[in-house]
Amino acid sequence: AQSVTQLDSQVPVFEEAPVELRCNYSSSVSVYLFWYVQYPNQGLQLLLKYLSGSTLVKGINGFEAEFNKSQTSFHLRKPSVHISDTAEYFCAVIISGGYQKVTFGIGTKLQVIP
């Protein structure tokens, strides 16, 4: 079975500083990788996804992530965060050939400090 590990439950960062949210996955088959964002009292919104091709994917709001197959990682980065980026971020996988059941990480709360 596949699993997703987000090592950092909370990440405080000052406004305009860079941030990296870490995600590692485990799977015996190929996977598709996703990052979702959840703003306070809202549902999940897709931030970006890796399906195939270039390992560097760009998403909304200036976020990007890089798929590293050898390290089984899909870390999320942003060069300069804004207060509005304060939210919870979930890394997720769908196994290739599977029916689309999403396996989520436990989430990382990003707190941007003014």
Partner 1 sequence: GAGVSQSPSNKVTEKGKDVELRCDPISGHTALYWYRQSLGQGLEFLIYFQGNSAPDKSGLPSDRFSAERTGGSVSTLTIQRTQQEDSAVYLCASSLGRGTGPPREQYFGPGTRLTVT
Q: Which residues bind partner 1 (CB under 8 A)?
A: 32, 36, 41-46, 49, 51-52, 90, 94, 99-107
By the 10 Å C-beta count (0-12 exposed, 13-18 middle, 19+ buried), 3 is classed as exposed
Kindly report each contact of residues 40-49 with a partner whose C-beta sits within 8 Å and lies 24 or more positions away, as own/partner: 40/87, 44/90, 47/76, 47/89, 48/76
Query: Least distance (Å) from partner 1 to the CB of residue 44?
Result: 4
Question: Is the Cβ of residue 53 or residue 114 nearer to partner 1 in the bound state?
Answer: 53
Smallest gap from Cβ 6 to partner 1, in A, equals 8
Of 4 and 13, the one with the shorter C-beta distance to partner 1 is: 4
